[in-house]
Amino acid sequence: MKFEVLKKNHLKRNIIIGVVVVAIISAVILNFTRAKYRTTQSIPLVNGTINYSLADLNIVAITVEGEPSDTIPTGNYELTENSYCTVDGEEDSNITLNYDMNTQNLTITPFTTKGTKCYLDFVTSTTKKVDTILGTIEVNLDEPDFSKTSCTNGSNDGSNCGEETVGIYEETTSKGTTYYYRGDVENNYLVFANKYWRIIRINEDGTVRIIYSGEKSTIDTAGKETVLANGYNDSSTDYTQTQTSAFNNSYNRSYYVGYTYTQDLQRPSTQNGGTPSTIKGILDTWYSNNLQSYDSIIASGESAGFCNDREMASGYSWSSEPSSAISYAAYERRNNGTPSYECSNTNDLYTMKIGLITADEVMYAGGTTSINYGYYLYTGNYYWTMSPSSFSGGGSRLAVVFLVGSNGGLSNSNSNSRWGVRPVISLRADNTITGSGTISDPYTIS
C-alpha cells in the first residue's frame, strides 16, 4: 500500500512539472513572436537611437535637413512626406509613420511584418502640438518681432501688417509656460455666460484668459458673422465693450494710474489693497450683476491675476508730483518691443477675478504704436488697458494710462478720460471646454 501511494505522488508531481514546463515554453515562444502580430508599434528613441530589436525593424537611412545622419535628431524636428517603409523590398503605402518630438516616440501603423525597413527624413519643425484645456492646439515655434504689428490681411491691401506671425505662440515665464493668440486669428472665440469672448491666452496654470466681446443675444440678432468676423465690429457700434468710463476720476497725481492706489505711495503696501480706482468699481459691479452666478467657474490667483505694473522705466524715479515727466516700465517695453508677462512687484499683482488686459498682452497679440486693423483686439473703439504709461509733470500734471486706440494701435490717455471697458476674466483649468473656437463653432463650457 505504501508503494502504491508513493507511486501516485510521483505521477502527480511529474504531471505538474510537465504542465509548468509547457507553460514556460509557450510563454517564451509567444513573447518571441508577438511583435509579428502587432498592428501599431511605438518605438521610444533614447538619445537619438532606436531602442528596439533590429530583427523586427530596420532603419535603413536617416536624413536631417537633406543631409545623411547616423542618429535620430533631438529637439524640434518633424518627419516629412519623404519618409516611408518597405516590406520585402517594396514600399508599403499602407504604413503610416508619426514622430512625437515631445516624447521622441516613432509610431508605425500598422506594424505586422518582421524585417520592415524604414527611411526617415527629418526637417526642423515650425510648429508643435500641445494638449491643453482647449484640446490639442498647434503652437508656432518661431519668436515674433514685437516691434511690428501682426496680421495677414490688415487693411484691404495688408499694408498695416508688420509681419505675418499669426496663430498660437508660447512664452516661458517664472510661473511656467503660457500659450497666447497673435494676429487676426479666427479660432479663439468663446461663448460663456451668454456672452461672446475672445481668448487672449492659456495662463501658466492652465486657466484660460478671455476678453469680453459682446452680448450673445445682441450679436446673434445683429449677425455674428458681420459683427465678429476677423475680430472686430463696426466702429459706429459698441458691441465689444460693456460701457465707457474714466480709469480714475482724479488725474493730477501719479498714483492715479493705479488700479487701486494709496495717497503719496507708488503702490499700495499690500497686495489687492488701497483705494479702488473708478474703473475697478465699474468692473466689480459688472461682475456682480453678470458673472456672480458663475463664480465657481472663474479662476483667481497669481497666474490668473492682473498686473498693474507701476515699476519705473530706466532712468526715472517715482514721485507723486514730479517736476518733470516720468515714464513707467510698460512704456519702455512698448517702445523697445519687449513685452513681458512677469509682474515685477507682488503688490502690483491683483488676484481678483476680474480686471483688464495689459499693454504687454496687447503687444503679444500683435499691437504696437502703429495702426493695425487686422488683429483680434481691434474693435474700432478706444478701450482701457490696466498698464500705467506715464505722468506729465510740471504744470499739466496728468496721470496717463495705456489704451487700445480706435485704429488698433497701443496708445495712451489721461486717467480721467472716458473710454471703453472690456472686462477680462480667466476660466478655471478644471472646466470642460468643447468646440473648435471658430465663429460658427465657438468654444463653450460644458
Q: Which one of 77, 95, 125 terminates a domain?
A: 125
Asked if 235 and 406 touch (Cβ cutoff 8 Å), the reply is yes
Using alpha carbons only, give the angle 60, 63, 69 rounded to the nearest 5 degrees: 80
182 and 244 housed in the same domain: yes
Give the residues of the chain that fall short of pLDDT 50: 1-8, 22, 25-39, 46-54, 156-158
Q: Which one of 80, 96, 125 terminates a domain?
A: 125
Q: Which residue spans within 4-112 are E strands per DSSP?
A: 41-46, 49-50, 57-64, 67-68, 77-79, 84-87, 90-91, 96-100, 105-109
Asked if residue 24 belongs to a domain, the reply is no
Cα–Cα nearest to 375, from 163, 174, 175: 163
Predicted confidence at residue 234, as pLDDT, reads: 63
pLDDT tens-digit series, residues 45-75: 544 434 444 456 778 889 999 999 888 888 8
Q: Which domain holds residue 373?
A: 130-445
Predicted confidence at residue 42, as pLDDT, reads: 55
Dihedral, CA atoms, 38, 40, 45, 51, nearest 10 degrees?
0
Q: Which residue spans within 183-229 are E strands per DSSP?
A: 189-192, 195-202, 208-215
Among left, alpha and beta (phi > 0; psi -120 to 50; other), residue 274 is left
Asked if 420 and 430 touch (Cβ cutoff 8 Å), the reply is no
249 and 295 housed in the same domain: yes
Predicted confidence at residue 105, as pLDDT, reads: 82
Q: Which one of 104, 125, 146 terminates a domain?
A: 125
- Give dist(CA 398, CA 391) in Å, integer: 6
Asked if 364 and 201 touch (Cβ cutoff 8 Å), the reply is yes
In the structure grid, which three cell numbers stand for residue 13, read together? Answer: 508531481
Predicted confidence at residue 156, as pLDDT, reads: 47
- Give dist(CA 161, CA 366) in Å, integer: 9
Using alpha carbons only, give the angle 340, 343, 344 rounded to the nearest 5 degrees: 105
Cα–Cα nearest to 388, from 343, 327, 338, 339: 327
Asked if residue 7 belongs to a domain, the reply is no
305 and 405 housed in the same domain: yes
Asked if 23 and 89 touch (Cβ cutoff 8 Å), the reply is no
54 and 137 housed in the same domain: no
120 and 192 housed in the same domain: no
**Residue 110: in which H helix or E strand, if any?**
none
Helix (H, G, I), strand (E, B) or coil at 327: strand
- Other beta carbons within 10 Å of 47: 9
139 and 225 housed in the same domain: yes
118 and 179 housed in the same domain: no
144 and 202 housed in the same domain: yes
- Give dist(CA 350, CA 194) in Å, integer: 26
- Give dist(CA 210, CA 291) in Å, integer: 13
227 and 333 housed in the same domain: yes
Asked if 206 and 195 touch (Cβ cutoff 8 Å), the reply is no
152 and 120 housed in the same domain: no
Domain count, the chain: 2
167 and 117 housed in the same domain: no
Sign of the C-alpha dihedral computed for residues 69, 73, 76 and 81 taken in this order: positive
Predicted confidence at residue 58, as pLDDT, reads: 79
Asked if residue 263 belongs to a domain, the reply is yes
pTM over 0.85: no
pLDDT tens-digit series, residues 263-273: 999 999 999 99
